[in-house]
Amino acid sequence: MTNDPLSIIDLSQKSDPAHYNVGLEHFKLKREKRYLITTADERTWKFDRPIIFLGEWCRIYNRKHIWENMDAVVAAPYGLGLEKKDADYGEARALEEKLFPEFYRLLNDYHGTNYGERFWLIVLGHWFRRTIDVLINRVNTLKFCLQEYDISGTAFYNNDNYDLATLDSYSAIFAFNDDRWNNALTSHVLSLLEADDVSIDFIEEESSLDAKQGYQFTKLDERQSTLKEYLYIGYSFFKGISKFVARDNDGFIINSYLPMRVATKLELALGQLPQFWKSKALKISDVPNRFTRRKLTEKFETKSTIEIEKIAASLLFKMLPVCYLEGWASLNKVVNEVPWPKNPRFIFTSNNFDTDESFKLWTAINVENGKKYYTGQHGNNYGTHRYINLTIEEKTSSKFITWGWADGLPQHIPAFCFKTAWRKSKDYNPKGGLLLIEVCLNHRITTWDGTAEYIQYYDDQIDFIKRLGAKPRENLTIRLHANYRYTTWGEEARWNDFDSTLKIETGAQSIRRLISGSLRWTNSVRQVHGKDN
């Protein structure tokens, strides 16, 4: 694998020179000194000199009027192409396997516990794996940029009170997208890379930032229909009554992904009254203890000569969510107070195994005591995605129930798609229009540059629509992913700027209703490629 950036760009299969400044001009740009911009936070930008954006995530679409007039280029994206992705994925899993045993041993020593690997994988395995991937991306993205371009300097916030530790694993996912958090992480990484030739400008915070509380994320208000509000009232009333007849040895089912009618039948078939359990909100008031984390880091730091391993060992305890360290007693208190079965016959979920802290700890304790723990398939990527291969929930559960497939692993039990179980297929409207269902820009949690890859995807969508004839295009509806509102991609604005006559559906209508109101695929193909095109 050569370090030449053109080779890496070629691996991405469809990199656009306009986006990534490749070709002959690239080598000219490499010789120019440029100031490095690492995030979209414009307070860290310089407007009086040539700059280089570390990635497309720095350029927020609704701020285009600012950055498009700057003397700026975007660094070549890191990690694209199957060969590079495979290599980084293998490195990430090897690093995870090497570091995790010592990591949880130190946690056992600190908490005075003696839990095994399975326990700690259930509790924080998803966070650990995701963080390893993020570190490989951030370290190599910065390192690659420093190798390929002449960087004059960069800017970081000067705030000794800011910590990389988040409150919990859910907050961590959103911290990985956060400009302020990434600015702090890049500062740590640059220091560990010992890039002494890069000058640093330190910026004072504009306001007092009590960052010791960790990065907090508040969900946007979800749209909720009047019918759903009434259903929720009915559910709350039923739940208030049913908890009095729940038994301590009932099977515990939470977020099975089965339709409510089917989930109810399942619990009745098990001889128990349906409960529809919900997790208790986790409230952590504890703050990161830097002295404790520094001592743990000193014990954890490896003598390995592998750079990424040394950097990961230096940062993991700094990034560890508060609920697993300083807030451990608070988390255990929540778990001891949940009104769940004391001696569950089994535990089953298709959702709560990732970021539900109270569920994970409660489950891990029960698994330690010999209880059966079953998980169900959460989405379509299992068994199909190249880099979602034997997930934490598959490794830690007694059995993993799939949507019908099997790959020879003993923990896999083929079943059916839970979400559509016993639902009647709706008829399609033979006179309906075309429906283009979009995915949204994902969190920055992959080893590769997911933003650059998403640009390729978006450009393909634009190219597809350009090829439609007038009538199919007129009858086209573009359905945006519900999570588009959580990103800075500006998807709705981009579509409107491309063609303001397009019908954009942002989530007001249910996806099932939209699909049933559209043409069958065979009719869609016939209309797009037939006489109407």
Which pLDDT does position 201 carry in this prediction? 95
Q: Which residues contact 439 (CB under 8 A, 6 or more apart)?
A: 457, 481
- Residue linked to tokens 């059995």: 399
Residues 370 and 346 in one domain: yes
Domain boundary among 376, 398, 420: 420
Residues 352 and 465 in one domain: no
The crossing angle, in degrees rounded to 10, of helices 450-466 and 491-498 is 30
Domain boundary among 363, 389, 420: 420
Answer yes or no: is 461 within a domain: yes
Residues 264 and 350 in one domain: yes
- Residue linked to tokens 């990961």: 312
Residues 258 and 347 in one domain: yes
Query: Which two tokens mark 200?
Result: 């640093």
326 to 11, 210, 214, 284, 319: CA distances (angstroms): 44, 17, 12, 9, 13
Which pLDDT does position 525 carry in this prediction? 38
- Phi, psi (rounded to 5 degrees) for 101: -60, -45
Answer yes or no: is 297 within a domain: no
Residues 486 and 525 in one domain: yes
Q: How far apart are CA 397 and CA 280, in angstroms?
A: 22
Answer yes or no: is 57 within a domain: no
Residues 234 and 365 in one domain: yes
Residues 347 and 397 in one domain: yes
Which pLDDT does position 28 carry in this prediction? 57
Which pLDDT does position 242 carry in this prediction? 55
Residues 376 and 453 in one domain: no
Which pLDDT does position 221 carry in this prediction? 39
Q: How far apart are CA 449 and CA 137, in angstroms?
A: 7
pLDDT tens per residue, range 141-200 = 999 999 999 999 999 998 777 899 999 999 999 999 999 999 999 999 999 998 888 999
Which pLDDT does position 429 carry in this prediction? 78
pLDDT tens per residue, range 236-284 = 555 555 555 678 889 999 999 999 999 999 999 999 999 889 988 888 8
Residues 274 and 392 in one domain: yes
Question: Residue 471, SS3?
Answer: helix
**Domain count within the chain:** 2
What pLDDT tens digit does each residue of the chain (533 aa) get?
333 333 333 333 344 444 444 444 555 556 689 999 999 999 999 999 999 999 999 999 999 999 999 999 999 999 999 999 999 999 999 999 999 999 999 999 999 999 999 999 999 999 999 999 999 999 999 999 999 999 999 999 987 778 999 999 999 999 999 999 999 999 999 999 988 889 999 998 766 544 444 444 444 334 444 545 555 555 555 555 555 567 888 999 999 999 999 999 999 999 999 988 998 888 888 889 999 999 999 999 988 889 999 999 999 999 999 999 999 999 999 999 999 999 999 999 999 999 999 999 999 999 999 999 999 999 888 888 899 889 999 999 999 999 999 887 899 999 999 988 877 776 777 778 899 999 999 999 999 999 999 999 999 999 999 999 999 999 999 999 988 888 889 999 999 999 999 999 998 888 888 888 887 544 333 333 333 43
Query: Which two tokens mark 413?
Result: 């039990």
Which pLDDT does position 507 carry in this prediction? 83
| Residue 367 structural domain | 226-282+329-420
Answer yes or no: is 457 within a domain: yes
Residues 406 and 455 in one domain: no
Distance of CA 481 to the CA centre of its chain: 15
Closest among 417, 383, 106 to 257, alpha carbons compared: 417
Residues 414 and 446 in one domain: no
Answer yes or no: is 479 within a domain: yes
Answer yes or no: is 386 within a domain: yes
Residue 18 φ/ψ region, left for φ over 0, alpha for ψ in the -120 to 50 degree band, beta for the rest? alpha
Q: How far apart are CA 533 and CA 517, in angstroms?
A: 21
SS (H, E, C) 309-365: HHHHHHHHHHHCCHHHCCCHHHHHHHHHHCCCCCCCCEEEECCCCCCCHHHHHHHHH
Q: What angle do CA 405, 387, 404 make, to 5 degrees?
A: 10
Asked if residues 149 and 29 have their Cβ atoms less than 8 Å apart, the reply is yes
Answer yes or no: is 272 within a domain: yes
Which pLDDT does position 241 carry in this prediction? 53
Residues 444 and 522 in one domain: yes
* Helix locations, 60-116, DSSP H: 64-67, 82-111
Domain boundary among 372, 389, 420: 420
pTM attached to this predicted model = 0.87
